[in-house]
Structure 1
Amino acid sequence: MLHVTVGHPRTRAMLDLQESAERAGLRFRALRPAGERERIIFIDKYVTFAQILNEPSIRSHDIILFTDAYDTLVIGGANEIGRAFLTSGDDIIFNGETTFWPPATSPDDPLQAYFDNYSDKLCRYLNSGCYIGYAGAIKKMLSECLAWSQEDGDHDDQRLACRFMINAAERHNLKISVDVECKIFGTLGGSLNFYHYSGGSVRNSQTGSWPSVIHANGDKSSIGILSIINSIQRIYPEGIDLLAVKGQRGFLHNTLDKNGFVIHEKPSKDICVAVRLGRNSIILLSADNTSLRSFHPNGGISTAKWAKNWEKLNIVEEKIFTCHGNELNNYTQKINTSLGVCEFPLEAFAAWTNEHLCRLMVTLSSL
């Protein structure tokens, strides 16, 4: 499977994408050759992509995965992606997002009206930043879109793709869909809080799917999440089981000036990071991830450099206990709620830095 992306191949984000794609077993190719620094945007994506698809080495039945370069990451394998595509029976599958973009041209814009009613799923709006399809089908789409662009001056690649799916796909005998279930593409824009890092992969809690390509569209503050995930996958190819601790009102957080814990509704940089050691046991990292939390029988909390008995927490019937049989909430600042483990919220990675990640890895290596 060929993975084609748009962008300059020497940027950090692009290098993360290329590394993740090649690790997944995809044949990677950048639309913008090395040495050319101008970004490719809007209709230029279609112009350049069409040139590649016309090369003799590209066959009509080849499966092509297209992604933007600066805000995407591949976390699933090529076989997994190919299987999901072939099972669908579609000729082209587009990434889905939670909002219609670009903005509707009128209150009764037929394009938005179509996607408003396309599905009851949140990610029902077509996003042209990621799609997968047969080379021949994509060529037909690009040819039609480029012709429209010349005729009426519409240069927005996403709107053109919407027009093609609604008005021309059937005429070309093509089946095109939007990945509303996020089976292949996971879109963070507008739905970041639905995504969790679990056992080395990413899960959408709304659909229950495990998307193979993550697209940090929209708010670019989430792009850093992709770099953190790629670094983890590089160091731990088999994945690492990070967890969060949650009560009724939110996630457990380390406090920076006290030994206790507090609960906040939203994840932040001091969210407690739990690491699963076995099926029913975890350890809890300290706030700066340089050591482990150690729980004493008298209710005190300290830190340790490696896990012994006092550092291990046991999970019993969805509650967390220390090795002394004390509930973890006895060590909190009067939270008065039972605490249990949950999947690690992906948005927590947004506050992480490479130094933060390195400290975590050093601590884990000492276990």
Structure 2
Amino acid sequence: MLHVTVGHPRTAAMLDLEESARRAGLDFHALRPEGERERIIFIDKYLTLARALGQPSVRPHDIVLFTDAYDTLVVGAAGEIRRAFAAGGSDIVFNGETTFWPPADGPDDPVQAYFDGYSPQRCRYLNSGCYIGYAGAIRTMLSHCIALSRDTADHDDQRLAARFMAQAAPRHGLRVTVDADSTIFGTLGGSLDLYDYAGGAVRNRATGGWPPVIHANGNKGPIAALSVLNMIHRLVPEGLDLLAIRAPGGFLHDGPDGAAPTLRAQPGPGLCVAVRAGPSSAFLLSRDGTSIRSFRPDRTIATVSWAQGWEVLALRPDGIRTSHDTPLTDYGMGTAGDTLTACPLPLAALAHWTPDQVRATLTALASL
């Protein structure tokens, strides 16, 4: 499978993408800008990609995965991507987002109306930052969009692609779809809250999809999470099974120094993070991720750099208990009326991690 991306390979985000793509087994190609320009945007994406796909070595039925360079990461294997694409029966599949963008020309825009009714899922609107398809089909789409841009002076690649899918694809005999169910693409802009990092993979809770390609479109805050994800998979190829601790009122967070843990509706920098060590056990990390919580019989908590026994938590349907069969709430974590349970780690939490924290966490877990 050919993977082409637009951008300049010297950026850290681009290097994360390239590393993750090669680790996945993709045939990675970066489309460099011409001259001294640093980025390729709008219609220039299509012009550049059309030249690349016009090479004699690219066959019409080759599968091509296109991604933006600065905000995308591959977290699954090439075979997984290929199977998901083939199962859908489409010629081209775009990733989806939560917003119709660019904004509609007016209240009766037929293209927006088309996507408004496309799917009940939130990510039903076409995003042109990532797509996968057969090379011949993509060439047809690019030719149409380039001609339409020339005729209308509209240079926005996303609007051109949306018009192609809604109005022109059937005339070319092509089935073009949006991955609203996140079977291939996880698009984080406006929907980061839907995604968990579970068992070394990323999951969309709303659709149940496990997308092998993650795109942090729009707000660039989630890019930090992609960098952390890449570092985890570099150091631990199978990934870490990270968990959050949840009560009815929200997620458990460490409080300020010396204060009791608190519950917050959304994950933040102080989110308590556990690492699953077996089907029904885990270890809880300290706030900075550099050590492990040790739950003493006298209901006090210490931090240690290795695990000996008191650090093991039992994950049970009726709550989390320590190795002494004591509810975790007895250690001041939550209130007595809470039932603390483990759940997949919200992907948003990784945006608060740093590379140093990842290294320290792995060092702390090396003895498990």
Residue aligning to 2:240: 240
Q: Tell me the CA shift for residue 33 of structure 1.
A: 6.0
Instruction: Show the counterpart of 2:60.
Output: 60
Q: Deviations over 1:97-118 (max 9, x none)?
A: 1110001111111111110011
User: In 2, are the aligned partners of 1:64 and 1:132 still within 8 Å (CA)?
Assistant: yes
1:342 is the counterpart of 2:350: no
1:123-152 deviations in whole A, cap 9, x for unaligned? Answer: 100000000000000000000110111111
Distance 2:124 2:334 in 1: 43
Closer, same or farther in 2 for the Cα pair 1:318/1:238, shift >3 Å? farther
**Contact 1:121–1:181 (Cα < 8 Å) also in 2:** yes
C-alpha contact 1:9 1:33 (8 A) present in aligned 2:
no
Q: Give yes or no for contact 1:262–1:332 (8 Å, CA) kept in 2.
A: no
The correspondence of residues 180-219 of structure 1 with structure 2, limited to 5 A, is 180-219=180-219
CA displacement at 1:356 relative to structure 2: 1.6
Residues 1:154 and 2:154 aligned together: yes
Deviations 1:63-91 (A, max 9, x none): 00000000000011111101111111110
Q: Structure 2 CA distance, aligned partners of 1:349 and 1:316?
A: 25
What are the residue-to-residue correspondences of 1:18-29 with 2, within 5 Å? 18-29=18-29
Deviation at 1:332, TM superposition (A): 2.1
Contact 1:259–1:302 (Cα < 8 Å) also in 2: no
**1:261 Cα shift?**
2.0
Q: 1:334 to 1:20 in 2, by over 3 A?
A: closer
Separation in 2, partners of 1:252, 1:282:
15
Following superposition, the deviation at residue 291 of structure 1 comes to 1.1
TM-score computed with the length of structure 2 as normaliser? 0.97
Query: 1:280 aligned to 2:284?
Result: no
Q: Identity, % of aligned pairs? A: 59
Write the distance in 1 (CA, Å) between the matches of 2:146 and 2:317: 59
Q: Which runs of 5+ in 2 are unaligned?
A: none
**Larger CA deviation: 323-332 vs 50-59:** 323-332
Pairs within 5 Å for 1:285-364: 285-332=285-332, 335=335, 336-364=337-365
Question: Which secondary structure state, in structure 1, belongs to the residue aligned with residue 10 of structure 2?
Answer: coil
- Once residues 306 and 63 of structure 1 are traced to their aligned partners in structure 2, the CA distance between those partners, rounded to angstroms, is 47
Task: Confirm whether residue 122 of structure 1 aligns to residue 111 of structure 2.
Answer: no
- The amino acid that maps onto 1:361 is L
Please tell me whether the aligned partners of residues 255 and 287 of structure 1 are also in contact (alpha carbons under 8 angstroms).
Answer: no
User: What residue is the counterpart of 1:98 in the other structure?
Assistant: 98
For residue 240 of structure 1, report the CA deviation from its aligned partner: 1.3
Worse-matched range after superposition: 90-99 or 263-272: 263-272
* Residues 290 and 360, structure 1, Cα contact 8 Å, conserved in 2: yes
Q: Secondary structure at the match of 1:338?
A: coil
Aligned AA for 2:366?
S
CA distance in 2, matches of 1:51, 1:328: 60
Contact 2:249 2:263 in 1 (8 A): yes
**Displacement after TM superposition at 1:51 (Å):** 0.4
* Structure 1 residue 36: Cα displacement: 4.7
- Distance across 2 between alignment mates of 1:324 and 1:99: 50
Q: How far apart, in 1, do the equivalents of 2:28 and 2:315 lie?
A: 43
Residue 12 of structure 2 is aligned to residue 12 of structure 1: yes
Q: Give the Cα separation in 2 of the matches to 1:292 and 1:138.
A: 50
Give the TM-score normalised by structure 1.
0.97
Deviation at residue 317 of structure 1 after TM alignment: 2.3
Deviation, 1:316, is: 2.2
Q: CA deviation at 1:334?
A: 5.3
Moved more, 25-34 or 223-232: 25-34
| Partner of residue 78, structure 1 | 78
2:144 aligns with: 144
For each residue in 1:202-253, what CA deviation from the matched residue of structure 2 results, as whole angstroms up to 9, or x when unmatched? 0110001100100000110111111000000000011211111100011111
Q: CA separation in 2, counterparts of 1:222 and 1:26?
A: 23
Q: How many residue pairs get matched?
A: 367
Aligned partner of 1:223 in structure 2 is: 223
Unaligned segments of structure 1, at least 5 residues: none
